[in-house]
Structure 1
Amino acid sequence: MKSLREGERTKAQRQEPQGTQVFGGREMGRNQPRSLGRRGLSGATVIDSLDTLYLMELKKEFQEAKAWVEESFHLNVSGEASLFEVNIRYIGGLLSAFYLTGEEVSWRFEAPELSRLGRKPCPAFNTPTGIPKGRLVSGSWGWATAGSSSILAEFGSLHLEFLHLTELSGNQVFAEKVRNIRKVLRKIDKPFGLYPNFLSPVSGNWVQHHVSVGGLGDSFYEYLIKSWLMSAKTDMEAKNMYYEALEAIETYLLNVSPGGLTYIAEWRGGILDHKMGHLACFSGGMIALGAEDAKEEKRAHYRELAAQITKTCHESYARSDTKLGPEAFWFNSGREAVATHLSESYYILRPEVVESYMYLWRQTHDPIYREWGWEVVMALEKHCRTEAGFSGIQDVYNSTPNHDNKQQSFFLAETLKYLYLLFSEDDVLSLEDWVFNTEAHPLPDR
């Protein structure tokens, strides 16, 4: 078993240099190799990869990435960017690199520089409620007027990074801004205890009653339980909000299919869409992570619930021709855990399923999670590896799928990191000492 584990870990480790071939060529500094998008901050792939490269002891690639950050990364660029992405990728990635390497990137984290980095997104919070707007123009760092709603997963996924900004810089403004978000959410009425995905930053009211633990909602719930853990279990507000939300999710969104698969549906004003997005598959790991601190009579229940949701997400992979999962899968018309539309059949190197495998392995040491993880490694090798790195695929139900010609930065930040940790000893980034932000950047408990 030991030799197999070491072989699997080495295989996952070898995928990282393949994915970072772009570092030495003309793709260096792009947000995602060979992709097109809005002009804005550059270097998401490089900064997203720093901690993974360091963790895997890929010293040459780490030094190349570090050199690019030191020489080329700056904030004075023109274009539109997402507050959420700036936070989880750039701030989260640089914070994580600092904590893991210490002096090696400490130049970025001297107090004046740190405060300057953290202050850049702060104008987003200049709204009547203090709920931030979602997009910024990064040249002037003014704020775009793209839509009237703020997204739960975006404004709800700032807490971990902003508290660390306050701790490292001594500037309380960062902590005050995210604590105000909690204050607004505690006051507002929630339908059946559920948190809809869209909130007006002007009125502080929900814009529509669409609830999802997948896209638009996901990391809000994740950051509640992780805020509790990161605070050395002193943030009672986060703990209470998390378990209250989880109880409402169980009551109104949780379902078991005729075939016995447990899934979390989406809720639209009381009507359920019987589907799960790939993004929602993180929830198995989240529920496992929070099981220990639940009420004693609920702990075993949450552990079993985490295992059942993770099993369902594995089925979405196992029922495809490529053994990779679709962007979304449904439970209707006698079909279970499969995409029913071609527009949902793609796979873009997402991490959420292997993320849950890692958490469930760390919790249970059941070898099934490493077996499932190895299936993903082999499927990535077979269907996603290219001469220039790794690519998403357009249809997981086609045994010879076409590539989408994009390597998302989260593949290096999250997917490969979680696979590596799945086959590592538990003391490698121990869950007792570290929490991962929603881009898998490890931050130490405070």
Structure 2
Amino acid sequence: MLCVRKSYFLPTFLLVSLAYILFSSLPPGAEIPYNDNPTEHGPPPPGPSKGDDLIHYRKQPELHPVDEYIPLPTGAPTPIPHIQHDFPVESWFTRRRRVKKQNAVRNAFKHAWNGYKKHAWLRDELSPLTAEYRESFGGWAATLVDSLDSLIIMGLTDEFEDALQAINQIDFSTTGATQINIFETNIRYLGGFLGAYDLTNGSYPILLKKATEVADLIYGAFDTRNRMPQSRWEWTRSALGLGIQPSRNTILAELGSLNLEFTRMSQLTNDPRYFDAIQRITDRLESAQPRTQVPGLWPMMVDAHDMEFNDPRFTVGGMADSVYEYLPKEHMLLGARTNQYRKMYDAAMNSIKKRLLFRGMTKDGKDIMFPGDIRSTAKDNIEPQAEHLKCFLGGTVGIGAKVFNRSEELSIARKLTDGCIWAYDVMPTGIMPEALYVSPCKNPDDCEWDEQKWHTDILRRFAEYTKGEEAAQSIISSNKLPPGVTQIPDPRYNLRPEAIESVFIMYRITGDKELQDAAWRMFRNIEKMTLTRFAHAAISDVRNPHSRQLDNMESFWLSETLKYFYLIFSEPNVVDLDEYVLNTEAHPLKRPSGST
């Protein structure tokens, strides 16, 4: 018997050893997608960053090199008017109430951050219902990088140090994605590193090192015949030395919203390539601006291959928003050393006021405004659609009014901001939907509530022109339309920041405590509806106080939304708008000089 047992020992040992070797190290992508110990760094980076057989981006000789780089504007900066309100010293009681609200926002951030750290560390995004993860932006830990400056602002030092250690593991030379979205990579990753670097006064060189890795990577997308970037970059072609070309269907925002980050890179590194890249785009946009079908504005889609602007759709919302946002901000970041962005802003703002803005009819006569859309230039009427994405405009107009001495437009900025606050307040959940149509006033200067007009607008919106009062009432009931709202085509809330962004900016400009009160209402309603066991989730229908939650939490929840809620309850010198410019992902970039 003993001999028989010995005869099986060796093969059994070999089989067990082989099984251990085969299964103790799972293939890339097969790792368990979370770690039960929140103090540990969770799963390693996604498989694509580890595979030796994958393509890694290495700069090839340029096929369309630049003969001479456009330099940063030189000379002393021109004084820029003061933006922030001169806040008085607050009382002990006022400070106590403010800090209590600030801490509530900080705790919400910590809850979401801990959920990400425990279940999706070094991944792009946490799935807040299932505690899994998703790779949405190249697989380079988007939430981690996007949140770096939020950690600094909120004084979460230990968490920041952990994140700082982790970014060494991010390999920006490769990705499992076949295309790289240049715009998203720019605002989230490059902006994230630069914001944290500037907030810490350059104390952590690793942040500029990683920023340079990102900037050098996406700079490859500019190697085209006309030096316009291929916005959805076929990066493997460039890595193999093959040619690329810009798309004939390029989203305007993806073409014209690279200014701040690339400018800041040239300022910090003294490398002119980055500024040269975006200045060529700006010059093209400026040249086209008076020649579009709505002079002063650019259409939603651009033929970046031939630089034609023939699309008949115009908006300041999704697909266009940050182009207009960056006009006054780039002016500030350049220290007003050029008037180019002032002129472009003047032309854009004059056209926005004339062609896009309308007053919404409300039951209480509130004087609020919204930017609509132009869907066809054959019609002079605007589409009275409000979007959460458009809510940035109040803050942008407020900043433009200050830095360009257009003080008469401060009231427009406030009315736009109040319009978004109203859209929050009228919903049963206290949260604004992604998109809604509003009944426009016939006369913006004299706009009393008109029930019949509201019903007529609803019937027109639902193509029920010939039907009457009973049909309108049925539509209102079945679609849960608050007074003044004619349709809600997208009732979701995706954890978006644009409304609180403008509320924050207008508070810093005016010092009006009503804006803080509005922010607190918004925050409490959002947290109530979005809180999950692991973090916070988007919701499917803001008309339903028991709305179903959705299993996604984009990185801007931590980078923007909660940051703006925190900042509106911070002391005014925290991210002072006279010292920093916030990119469209809320990353603070240091201005070259203060205000007058």
Same fold, TM-score > 0.5, yes or no: yes
C-alpha spacing 1:337/1:146, structure 2 compared with 1 (3 Å): farther
Partner residue of 1:374?
A: 520
Unaligned runs of 5+ in 2: 1-93, 128-132, 440-456, 459-481
CA contact (8 A) 1:166 1:174 kept: yes
Question: How far 1:117 moved relative to its partner?
Answer: 3.0
Secondary structure at 1:443 match in 2 = strand
Partner residue of 2:257?
A: 157
Measured against aligned partners, the alpha-carbon deviations of 1:277-305 in whole angstroms (never above 9, x if no partner) come to 1110000011111112334xx41x21100
Distance 1:108 1:347 in 2: 32
Higher strand share: 1
**Which residue of the other structure, out of 406, 410, 433, is the alignment partner of 1:303?**
410
Distance 2:300 2:276 in 1: 23
Question: How far 1:131 moved relative to its partner?
Answer: 2.4
Partner residue of 2:106?
A: 13
Measured against aligned partners, the alpha-carbon deviations of 1:173-226 in whole angstroms (never above 9, x if no partner) come to 111111111111122222232211111111110141211111011000111110
Partner residue of 1:181?
A: 281
**Which residue of the other structure, out of 228, 247, 250, is the alignment partner of 1:131?**
228
Unaligned runs of 5+ in 1: none
Distance 2:372 2:263 in 1: 32
Within 5 Å, give how 1:4-403 maps onto structure 2. Answer: 4-34=97-127, 36=134, 40-79=138-177, 80-102=179-201, 104-110=203-209, 115-138=212-235, 148-188=248-288, 189-191=291-293, 192-259=295-362, 260-270=367-377, 271=379, 272-295=382-405, 298-299=406-407, 301-332=408-439, 333=457, 338=485, 340-341=487-488, 343-403=489-549
Secondary structure at 1:268 match in 2 = coil
Worse-superposed segment, 32-41 or 420-429: 32-41
Question: How far 1:38 moved relative to its partner?
Answer: 5.3
**Which residue of the other structure, out of 563, 576, 593, is the alignment partner of 1:417?**
563
Question: How far 1:46 moved relative to its partner?
Answer: 0.3
CA contact (8 A) 2:254 2:319 kept: yes
Distance 2:337 2:141 in 1: 36
Secondary structure at 2:370 match in 1 = strand
Question: How far 1:165 moved relative to its partner?
Answer: 1.2
Distance 1:162 1:381 in 2: 35
Secondary structure at 1:292 match in 2 = helix
Measured against aligned partners, the alpha-carbon deviations of 1:99-119 in whole angstroms (never above 9, x if no partner) come to 122455312425xx6544322
Distance 2:526 2:359 in 1: 30
Higher helix share: 1
Amino acid paired to 1:94: F
Distance 2:123 2:514 in 1: 37
Amino acid paired to 2:374: W
Secondary structure at 2:126 match in 1 = coil
State which structure, 1 or 2, has the greater radius of gyration over its C-alpha atoms.
2
Secondary structure at 1:267 match in 2 = coil
Distance 1:337 1:282 in 2: 21
C-alpha spacing 1:395/1:311, structure 2 compared with 1 (3 Å): same
- Taking only the aligned residue pairs, the percentage that are identical comes to 28
Distance 1:106 1:337 in 2: 53
Measured against aligned partners, the alpha-carbon deviations of 1:307-330 in whole angstroms (never above 9, x if no partner) come to 101111111111111111100121
Amino acid paired to 1:99: D
Q: How many residues align?
A: 440
Amino acid paired to 2:110: P
Worse-superposed segment, 56-65 or 215-224: 56-65
Amino acid paired to 1:421: L
